[in-house]
Amino acid sequence: MAERRRGDTTAGYEIHQRPAGQTESQWRRKRQRDLSGSRSSKTFKPKKNIPEGSHQYELLKHAEATLGSGNLRQAVMLPEGEDLNEWIAVNTVDFFNQINMLYGTITEFCTETSCSVMSAGPRYEYHWADGTNIKKPIKCSAPKYIDYLMTWVQDQLDDETLFPSKIGVPFPKNFMSVAKTILKRLFRVYAHIYHQHFDSVMQLQEEAHLNTSFKHFIFFVQEFNLIDRRELAPLQDLIEKLGSKDR
């Protein structure tokens, strides 16, 4: 994806912790249930489901269970004996669903008028190109950009040649490259929400859910070096703050 990025930026975010006695996974599941039963029952895009009974489904259940350990750094590590590509595939689908739900809570605030360009603060602006349907980068509003982005990600996840769901079907040689691009682009939705809509998130009392989801996302991409550090610059201060609280 082509982009235009300008300089560096700093921003402060209040980090809300989960209630005492609740594990990360319990907190996240509760927030997802609360969201599903409230304003975000309409997700931005249809949820991507992993077939129940498949090995990837079992990996997803393992991921959810290990989040309860209280140590996110350890929870994102590749389970012993598992395939790296499959682990990344399962988590990529999970992050798509999380971001899909999170953005679905604030779509009424992210409009052509309020967000006429896709940005992450005053110094970072993104232009859309997918190399296929739109080859030359175009400047567009945030809701249009995110619609392009999420539709593109959905198409990749639905492509059995890229994300095989059947046992024994190998991942393609370019899988890691595709996964990195997906995660890099999903990060931009987090960045836009934090920079442009965090006040709305706080009004909706969803900041703890957002922070938990983003912390999980960041620890995962850091564990496997899936996003270049320069791409993370719009939220670097927040990333460092989240990391320091885990030490």
**Helices then strands (H, E): number in the chain?**
8, 2
| Residue ranges covered by each domain of the chain | 4-244
User: Per residue in 100-114, is it b (16+ CB within 10 Å) or e — as a string?
Assistant: bbbbbbbbebbeeee
Per-residue pLDDT, 243: 80
| Sign of the C-alpha dihedral computed for residues 39, 11, 139 and 218 taken in this order | negative
* pTM beyond cutoff 0.85: no
73, pLDDT greater than 60: yes
Per-residue pLDDT, 105: 94
Between 243 and 148, name the one with better pLDDT: 148
Between 3 and 124, name the one with better pLDDT: 124
Q: Which residues contact 226 (CB under 8 A, 6 or more apart)?
A: 88, 179, 180, 183, 184, 220
How is domain 4-244 classified at the CATH fold level? Butyryl-CoA Dehydrogenase, subunit A; domain 3 (1.20.140)
Q: How far apart are CA 59 and CA 226, in angstroms?
A: 19
Tokens of residue 204, six digits: 């909706």
- Report whether 127 belongs to an annotated binding site: no
User: If we measure between CA atoms, which residue out of 159, 18, 186, 167 comes closest to residue 91?
Assistant: 186
Region 118-142: mean pLDDT is 94
* Lowest-confidence region among 16-25, 94-103, 105-114, 184-193: 16-25
Q: How far apart are CA 43 and CA 23, in angstroms?
A: 25
25, pLDDT greater than 50: no
- Report whether 55 belongs to an annotated binding site: no
Per-residue pLDDT, 50: 63
Q: What is the pLDDT of residues 93-116, one digit of tens each?
A: 999 999 999 999 999 999 999 999
DSSP state of 4: E
23, pLDDT greater than 50: no
Per-residue pLDDT, 74: 83
174, pLDDT greater than 60: yes
- Report whether 140 belongs to an annotated binding site: no
- Report whether 209 belongs to an annotated binding site: no
